[in-house]
Amino acid sequence: MSTADISRMNPAQQQAVRYLDGPSLVLAGAGSGKTRVITSKIAYLVGQCGYEPRHVFAVTFTNKAATEMRERLVKILGSERVSELSISTFHALGVRLLRQEARAAGLKPGFSIMDAQDAFGLIQSLIATTDKARLKAIAQQISLWKNALVDPDTAAAQAQNAQQVDAARVYHSYQATLRAYQAVDFDDLIRVPCELLATDTQIREKWQNQVRYLLIDEYQDTNACQYELVRHLTGVRAMFTAVGDDDQAIYGWRGATMQNLARLQQDYPELKLIKLEQNYRSTQTILAAANNLITRNPKLFQKQLWSELGTGEAISVTRMDGELEQAQAVAMRVSAARTEKRAAWRDFAVLYRSNQQARVMEQALRDLRIPYTVSGGQSFFDKAEVRDILAYLRLLANDQDDPAFIRAATTPRRGIGQATLQLLGEYAAKRHLGMLAAAGEQGMQALAQPKQLQALQGFVGFMQRFAMRAARPASQEPVAALLDELMGAIHYENYLYDVSSDDRAARARWQNVLELLDWLKSRATETGWGLSELVQHVALVTMLERQGEQSTDTVTLSTLHAAKGLEFPHVYLIGIEEGLLPHLGRESDEQSLAGSPERIEEERRLMYVGITRAQRSLHLTWCARRRRGGQEQACELSRFIEEMGLQAQPELADPGASLTPKGRLDMLKAMLAKPGGT
């Protein structure tokens, strides 16, 4: 990267790029060019400071962010040098470390990565309940403990109530089961490497010699475990740059802690603080509202966003009668604005606090034939047919993966029923074996009925034959050929036509399988990976993020959490009401909300994130009435509107109040068709 390129940055950005005298914290406000700063610093390290690319590491939280950084750097440094850089998510870095240090971690190289659904299913099997609320609470508590580096014994000792005692008991069994399965969950991908680095001097020194400079994106979203990982990787040299924004810390519910920002100053007294306050995204009107709002929160660091993009449009605050009216009006206004502003559909986003708000909004957009994409919808890898095929691959990569065994053994159906699986599970537990290995033992054969045994041995023999081939190097046993042969052997396409509601549904599901296979084959060709490495990679990638790299002309519907890191020319923020934003949660009374200032502060930061997604125009709506628990209830305008320095527009009589939904929609269309209609 040339000096001229850096010289075109503002003074604070230049300082952030060039500072190399020790650890630094770059406080990057929304839209202040943090990705440009990170990529420019990497280019500066490699291009002007003599750092070898293989010694420069950058970590972020999403594959999309990592991909964007890599693509920008290719234009500056070229693909050859960028290929040597380590730019990845925290979890991908964790997998890389565990692959290299599997033996020290008590894992085999082909360890399994449990996804959220499998982990949830494992917890359910341990406590034998269908109470989803209890299961979710236990799973979340275990995740929080892991992110705080709290082991099962410590969790049991520190449990403060009956719920935590219950969760600690399950946590102990859960971890023991994971070890037996030779598996880790997502939280373990950070926790286990962190513990390895903390306890093994040789491994720690090895990785510190590899990581000569570390850049951390979205630092405010790190948890205690990730903080320790950074500390162990950088060591006493402490050559790192952390980039984040305390005003955008919105993931406290999953273990992220702003204390990590304060800890940096405590643990690194020489820390250099650099503030990026110039915003390149939004008009001054939008930034003024955002600044007014966020100043209500206690501040670790004082900063004030400003822009040279002019005053811009006024922010509208509109009262709506109810959810249906709100959705229809927003859809009509988006349609009108697209024409008036000569914009594309992708220039518009509708943001909301809760996923449940999307349903009525989707219907309104469909009624007007407006194309849309729901951000954070079902992942490609969550589709049943995709999970079915991945179960076979996971079992081939790790014969201890019991959840994969159960799914593969029963899909397609091959005569292995619940009674057989229960018998096998009990025997495997007594023998401390995976179900696949246990099925081949004489002791199990003596317990099973001849019909059970025949079906079981047929499946086990089939999987073992494929496993032997999958264990060979990719040069000897190409992954593509193995996948094709596996698909032919299990007759999965025929199975889909047998179980699907109609041929069209079967074709769609089979197309998803073919897409998965094509993607796996291309990754195998690109990387030279074998099946085991591919399976581990799949657990870290979501197809939605991969597809999101392709530009499509659709309106974006998104929760505020999922919208973080995105920007749109025109944003509609809906449902700005007390109890919804700020969100009351399960506690239903205002008193409990008022008694939790930390919660209100995080909700305020969430609103701030929503506001700062807007580049040119911002429109806020709220409902006077909303159905809750089957009953219609009056709503109040969110306190955040006043805190932004805004006022709701005067209430207007709703001429469509007595109309049917179709009548209301027809009326709105007619109004829009009039000259000057809005």
Per annotation, catalytic residue among 195, 217, 247, 533: 217
Say how many residues make up the chain.
678
Written as six digits, the tokens of 631 are 């009953």
- Residue-wise DSSP of 138-186: HHHHHHHHHHTT--HHHHHHH--SHHHHHHHHHHHHHHHHHHHHTEEET
Alpha helices in 323-449 (DSSP H): 323-340, 358-367, 384-397, 402-410, 418-431, 435-439, 442-447
Please name the amino acid found at residue 527. T
Q: What is the DSSP letter of 244?
A: E
Among this protein's residues, is 185 annotated catalytic? no
Kindly list the distances between the CA atom of residue 94 and the CA atoms of 35, 148, 192, 212, in Å, as whole numbers in the listed order. 22, 16, 8, 17
Written as six digits, the tokens of 598 are 């930390």
Per annotation, catalytic residue among 605, 613, 616, 626: 613
Per annotation, catalytic residue among 13, 34, 353, 603: 34
- The C-alpha atoms of residue 623 and residue 617 are separated, in whole angstroms, by 20
Among this protein's residues, is 34 annotated catalytic? yes
Among this protein's residues, is 21 annotated catalytic? no
Helix, strand or coil for residue 363?
Answer: helix
Contacts of 356 (CB under 8 A, 6+ apart): none
Number of other residues whose CB lies within 10 A of the CB of residue 585 = 13
Among this protein's residues, is 246 annotated catalytic? no
- The C-alpha atoms of residue 246 and residue 605 are separated, in whole angstroms, by 9
Among this protein's residues, is 5 annotated catalytic? no
Please name the amino acid found at residue 361. M
Among this protein's residues, is 426 annotated catalytic? no
Per annotation, catalytic residue among 14, 15, 35, 554: 35
Q: Residue 16 burial by CB count (10 A; 0-12/13-18/19+): exposed, middle or buried?
A: buried
Per annotation, catalytic residue among 248, 328, 410, 536: 248
Q: Residue 59: beta bridge partners?
A: 88, 216
Q: What is the largest CA-CA distance in the chain?
A: 84
CA torsion sign for 660, 554, 217, 233 is positive
- The C-alpha atoms of residue 296 and residue 31 are separated, in whole angstroms, by 21
- The C-alpha atoms of residue 263 and residue 183 are separated, in whole angstroms, by 32
* Structure-token match 């007007």, residue found: 368
Closest to 237 (Cα-Cα) out of 259, 273, 210, 256:
210
Q: Residue 625: beta bridge partners?
A: 634
Per annotation, catalytic residue among 218, 228, 402, 603: 218
- Catalytic residue numbers, as ranges: 34-35, 217-218, 248, 613
